[in-house]
Amino acid sequence: MIGMLISGGVALRDLNYDIDSVRFELQAPEVELIMLPDALMYIVENAQDLGKTWNDLASLIAGRAVYGPALIAGFNGDDVPESYVAAYMV
Mean pLDDT to the nearest integer, 65-73 = 98
Spell out the alpha helix ranges (H) of 1-90: 19-26, 56-62, 82-88
Confidence of residue 90 (pLDDT cuts 50, 70, 90): confident
Residue 53 near residue 64, CB atoms below 8 Å = no
Mean pLDDT to the nearest integer, 19-48 = 97
Q: Where are the domains of the chain?
A: 2-88
Q: How confident is the model at residue 74, as a pLDDT?
A: 97
Burial of 49 (0-12, 13-18, 19+ CB in 10 A): exposed
Could you give the 3-state DSSP secondary structure of residue 79?
Answer: coil
Mean pLDDT to the nearest integer, 28-37 = 96
Mean pLDDT to the nearest integer, 2-16 = 97
